[in-house]
């Protein structure tokens, strides 16, 4: 069975002692690993959390975004340079956390739009920055798993077809892709078709309901998603990414204005749901 993880953004975007009981309980429930957001300053926290999760024998994955002042597809070379520096910093923090996967939409600035369709030059600029980042990440045996977002959060990569174009342009074995069922639910015609498209470079999967609540209790066609993953013999992480207002600063930054499900209900019911779907579809 694939490893199953839970993203602790349901509680906090900041690594602190407050996350210790959360991590411990996720281990007790039966999760194979946890996913942390990389963004907050305080480099030492990433190191001790990496040691803490290692001692608990929990796997770790990480997620990361960039803003408009560090945009890999900016027309300003100085901003693209800042983007590379920021991604390298995130790679270092992923290494501190013992995370072999750094995922997320850091191919372009989150929620920053050009008020037009993406241009060929932007894919070229993004590929150039990500190629340098991938070469840096390879030294730490870290895979960069780029994420396509829905049209309300990103304009460069909304679909697996667009994401595949970017990954191919980078052309490095450790710069790959991830698939998130929440975004796919908005942008793709079918999950199985999208997964078939991205299968050659798929390195990570987020299991997310349409409302970011408990997987399986909404409108996402998970049978289509899991059958697609089974057909490609996917062996990577299945990580629940759900949100709440427990961390108001983070919630405000991504437009979370209400509670969808209680985090522990999501964790407990979500784990059971993923196990059932894996069994059903032979993952």
Q: What is the DSSP string of 88-125?
A: HHHHHHHHHTT-SEEEESTTSBTT---SS---HHHHHH
Least confident of 7-16, 50-59, 146-155, 264-273: 7-16
The C-alpha R_g of the chain, in whole angstroms, comes to 17
pLDDT (tens digit, 9 = 90+) per residue, 175-204? 999 999 999 999 999 999 999 999 999 999
140: three-class secondary structure by DSSP: coil
Q: What is the mean pLDDT of the chain?
A: 95
**CB atoms closer than 10 angstroms to residue 15:** 26
* CA pair distance 275, 269, nearest whole angstrom: 10
* CA pair distance 115, 267, nearest whole angstrom: 38
Given a contact cutoff of 8 angstroms between Cβ atoms, the answer to whether 239 and 6 are in contact is yes
**Prediction pTM value:** 0.95
Reading the block at residue 198, the tokens are 């991205």
Half-sphere exposure of 54 (CA within 13 A, CB side): 12
pLDDT (tens digit, 9 = 90+) per residue, 8-19? 999 988 999 999
Reading the block at residue 51, the tokens are 């040691």
Of residues 77 and 42, more confidence is placed in: 77
Q: What average pLDDT does the segment 146-155 reach?
A: 96
């Amino acid at each position: 069975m694939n490893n199953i993880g839970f993203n602790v953004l349901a509680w906090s975007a900041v690594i602190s002692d407050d996350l210790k009981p959360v991590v411990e309980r996720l281990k007790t429930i039966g999760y194979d690993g946890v996913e942390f957001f990389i963004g907050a300053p305080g480099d030492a926290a990433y190191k001790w959390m990496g040691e803490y999760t290692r001692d608990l024998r929990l796997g770790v994955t990480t997620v990361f975004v960039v803003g408009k002042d560090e945009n890999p597809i900016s027309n300003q070379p100085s901003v693209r340079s800042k983007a590379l520096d920021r991604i390298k910093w995130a790679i270092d923090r992923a290494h501190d956390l013992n995370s072999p996967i750094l995922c997320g939409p850091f191919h372009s600035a989150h929620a920053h739009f050009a008020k037009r369709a993406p241009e060929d030059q932007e894919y070229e600029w993004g590929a150039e920055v990500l190629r340098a980042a991938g070469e840096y990440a390879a030294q730490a045996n870290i895979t960069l798993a780029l994420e396509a977002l829905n049209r309300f959060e990103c304009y460069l990569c909304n679909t697996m077809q667009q994401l595949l174009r970017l990954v191919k342009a980078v052309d490095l074995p450790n710069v790959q892709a991830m698939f998130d069922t929440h975004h796919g639910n908005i942008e793709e015609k079918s999950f199985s078709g999208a997964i078939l498209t991205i299968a050659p470079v798929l390195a990570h999967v987020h299991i997310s309901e349409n409302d970011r609540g408990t997987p399986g209790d909404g409108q996402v066609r998970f049978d289509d998603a899991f059958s697609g993953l089974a057909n490609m013999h996917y062996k990577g992480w299945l990580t629940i990414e759900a949100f709440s207002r427990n961390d108001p600063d983070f919630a405000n930054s991504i437009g979370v204005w209400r509670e969808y499900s209680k985090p522990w209900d999501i964790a407990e019911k979500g784990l059971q749901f993923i196990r059932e779907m894996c069994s059903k579809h032979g993952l």
